[in-house]
Every structure is written in structure tokens, then in C-alpha cells.
Chains A and B, each alone.
Chain A
Amino acid sequence: MTGSAEKQQSSSNRLSQTGVEVRISHLGKRFGSRSVLDDVNLDILPGEFVAIVGHSGCGKSTLLRLISGLDIPSHGHIELEGRFVTGQVAEARMMFQDTRLLPWRRVLDNVGIGRHGNWKPAAMEALEQVGLGARARDWPAVLSGGQRQRVALARALVSHPKLLLLDEPLGALDALTRLDMQRLIEEVWRRQGFTAILVTHDVGEAVALADRVVVLERGVVPVVRRIERPRPRIRGDACLSEIEGEILSRLLERT
């Protein structure tokens, strides 16, 4: 236990850490007779930031659950660094739209959930990274929505995941808090170098954050749009707006 804690300590000193490579081939998922995903193929590079957009019910959240090992594919498979995903993926962490903090644990204990050994310093460091070091002793109930989502981000970061899965984590936040969180997520992603997969229905958010935007439609991947704009990206950048418009019109014309 102490050995692994030490290893984490030393890895936290490194500035960047390579994320995992994700290969998705012929992936399909059906619930009963309803097919949600059908033959999805997608390769994600180590350390890449990919956003998945699409209409609600297009299977984007299901795809994320399959990658995390929470659900089992009906056919096809997912490889992380060449290993097939068969169950819970230890090096992946997920952020949910409804933060899912434990209301009966204080903020710091929420950040350290599932950690072993001497986890408190690392949890405190993660909490400070998201700017909430002063709230460590508070109950989640007294925090604002944005602060709770920051705690959830700290909880995801404390284990230095190689893959961060974001399931519309900013969907419930107000516009300004959302921009704040986007900047924070981009910042930690650049610093830690994990692979990030963001599911969102906000095309602007996808374009601002991602290296590639994947448009998921009827369970397949018809469009992958690469975005090569320097970071940090400026909101309202003409080029980004153009891409956003392009993706939006694509999403709208199919309905």
C-alpha cells in the first residue's frame, strides 16, 4: 500500500504523463431489441482530447460507459493500450453531470474516495488545483453547483488517471461557471496529459476544448472534424465559430 502511494507521489511531481490510446472497433450495443450503437470505429491517440456530440439518445453516453467498462458491448470491442476492455478500467475516471459526490462525506473525503494509504496530501493538492483548498472540511450540500463539479474534478484527478471520461459534466451549470470549468479542465488536461473524452450537447464547448469533434449519429461515426487551433483558444474566434456552425448545421439537417 505504501509503495503504491510513494509511486503516486513521484508521478505527481512529473509535469506530464502520457494518456492511453483507445481503439474502438466495430462496437455495438443493444438493449433488448433496440440498437443504440452500431458498428462504431474510432481511434483515439494517447493524450488526445476528443469531444463527442450528437442528439440526445444517439448513444454518446452509452459509448462512454462502454469505454469505462461499466457496460459490456453487444459486439465489437475496445482496446486500451492494446488490452481489451472486459470490466472496470482502473486507469479511467469519469465525471458525471450530477456530480455524484457522497453527501455524507466531507469535501476532502469525497476527493479521496477509493484511495488507499496516505491519500490526504494528494487529495488536498488536487483540491487546491481546482481552487477549493479552503473548503476541504465542508459538506457538499453547502457548495454551489459549480463548486461541487470542481470537487468532482479534483476527485477524478487525484488518482492521476490516464483516461478521463466526461459525461456532460458541465450541462447543469450556468454559462459563466461553465466557461470557467472549461478553462480549468483544459488547463489540467494540458498539465497532466491524460486522454480525455468529452460527451456534450454543447457544440461550442466541444469545438473550444477538443482536438477532434466526433459527431455521433444513429450509433455510427459519420463525421470526425479535426480542430487545429492553438491553445488556449479564444472564445468567439472566427475560425472556431465557423467550425461550430458547420457541425451544428450538420446535426440539424438530419432531423
Chain B
Amino acid sequence: MSQQLRSLTRTALPWTVPVGMLLLWQAASHYQWLSSRIVPTPVDVFRAGVRTAASGELLRHIGVSTARAAAGFLLGGSIGFVFGLLNGVSDTAARLLNSTFQMVRNVPHLALIPLFILWFGIDERVKVYLVALGVFFPIYLNTYHGARTVDAGLIEMGRVYGLSRAGLFRHVIFPGALPSILVGVRFALGITWLTLVVAETIAASSGIGYMTMNAREFLQTDVVVLGILIYALLGKVADSATRWLEKRCLAWHPAFVVPGAETS
């Protein structure tokens, strides 16, 4: 009995602070400590969600944003992955390309928004290319680092045991680099949503960012807050997906087999 109670408290404990804040927020708006022009009540935000969902508007915007995120992530991620592996296994390629990538990395990709708008107007390409550019570097760097740090002894073993170049890649280099690649994926997902927020609020005619900016014009603070929360939710979903991927792909890793270690 007390055991059950203890485990219940353990599960409930992380939720007490967010739920408490939500209640405090509702109370603050309700008793007019905060003007509804500054911040809507949680109930208002919920209602806005129901309203926009019912009209189909919300789902359309979420769909558009998700498609952009996915397209940009796949584009930038696959280019980064390919170059990371190439430079990871080939010294010549690394010598030729790595320092250039490292230099370009220091350009904040969001600084290119004006240039991108000049080139592509405000159509889909601006958002997708910006996300791709932002995603490229974390994936590239972590893939490169992962491939470089694969245990040389294992590669030598693979050669002695008759692995071909393709076999060496499939059995030794790729799985060896995978933990690092997945770290890159998580970084990249964070950058994906961040880039999209900025790009959609500046140069878009659809998507969550557009919906939020549009609502601002009409002082619909409830929709603005709703948009922010949806970005947070999408980011959380993407992060959980990577965690799931890590658990599946890194089952061999002693750091990932401890049951119940994942609490954050």
C-alpha cells in the first residue's frame, strides 16, 4: 500500500510545478492581476485551440509546418550525413572539405534570411533551405566525429576477419558512429524548430508561425500563445522520437540498457 503510494508520488512529483503554475496563471488572469491583452487565460488558449481545430485551420497550419520541418531536416540531414561519413573515412576528402565546413559553420544561418528572401521570395524554398542549412552542421559534425573516433582496433579486426570495404562500413564504422550521429540528430531537431519559428514569422503565408503573427495583428493573444505551445509540443514529439530511436539502435550500449534510467 505505502509502496504504491510512494510510486504514485514519484510519478506525480514532476507534474506538480507545471500544474501549479497553470493554476496560478488561471487565477492571475481570472482575478484581473494580469490583463487579458497581455496574456490570455489557459482556458482561453484551450478554447482557441478547439475553435481553430474545428475550422480545420489549426491542422492545416500544423501540417504545413511539419512538412517544412521534415523536408528541410531530410535535405540538410542527408547532405550532412553523407559528407560526415565521407570526411570520416577519407583523409583526402577531410583535408579538402573539413576546414571549409568549419569556417562556414560560424555564419549564423538565420542571418541569411534577407538574402534568401531576395533569392526565393517567400515561397516554400526559403523555409526548407534555411532549415536544411541549420540542420546540416550538427549532423555533419557529429557524423564526422563519430566516424573518426571508431576504435581503430575494431577496424583492424574487421580487416583480419575478411570484411570488405562495404562490410567494414556496415558492421564497424556506421554502428560505431551511430551514438554520435544520434546526438547530432537531437541537436538538429532543436535547430529545425527554432529556424522554422523565425522563418515562418518573417516570410510565410501559412504555417504555425504565420498563424501566430496573423493573430498578433488582431490582438488575439490566445491564438499567439496557442501557436507557441504547439511549437513546444512539436519539438517535444520530435525529441521523444529520437529517444525512442536511441533506445532501439543503442540497445547494446551499457549506458542505454539500465532500466528506468530515463527520467528526464
Enumerate chain A interface residues (CB-CB to B < 8 A): 68, 70, 88, 90, 92-94, 96, 98, 100, 102-106, 113-114, 139-141, 155, 159
Contact = CB atoms under 8 A, between A and B. Distances in A.
Given A96-B153, A104-B176, A90 B252 contact: no
Interface in B226-258: 250-254, 257
A114 B163 CA distance: 5
B160 A102 contact: no
A155 B175 contact: no
Contact of B175 (A102, A114, A141): A102
B253 A114 contact: no
Nearest to B254: A141
Contacts of B190: none
Contacts of A90: 162
B182 to A, nearest CB: 13
B interface majority secondary structure: helix
Contact of B167 (A106, A114, A141): A114
A113, A140, A155, A159 interface centre (most CB from chain B within 10 Å): A113
Given A96-B153, A98-B153, A113-B171, A103 B252 contact: yes
Contacts of B257: 139, 141
A interface majority secondary structure: loop
A223 B2 CA distance: 74
Contact of B159 (A88, A106, A141): A88
Contact of B171 (A68, A70, A105, A159): A105
Given A96-B153, A100-B154, A113-B171, A88 B160 contact: yes
A70 B159 contact: yes
Contacts of A88: 159-160, 162
Contact of A113 (B153, B163, B178): B163
Given A70-B156, A139-B252, A102 B172 contact: yes
B42 interface: no
A68 B176 CA distance: 25
B249 to A, nearest CB: 9
B49 interface: no
A102 B159 contact: no
B254 to A, nearest CB: 5
A167 to B, nearest CB: 10
B163 A104 contact: no
A113 B161 contact: yes
Given A98-B153, A100-B153, A93 B161 contact: yes
B157 interface: yes
Contact of A114 (B151, B154, B161, B252): B161
Given A102-B172, A105-B171, A141-B254, A114 B162 contact: yes
Contact of B158 (A68, A104, A114): A114
29 contacts: A68-B160, A70-B156, A88-B159, A88-B160, A90-B162, A92-B160, A93-B161, A96-B153, A96-B157, A98-B153, A100-B151, A100-B153, A102-B171, A103-B252, A103-B253, A104-B178, A104-B250, A104-B252, A104-B253, A105-B252, A113-B158, A113-B163, A114-B158, A114-B162, A139-B251, A141-B252, A141-B253, A155-B161, A159-B162
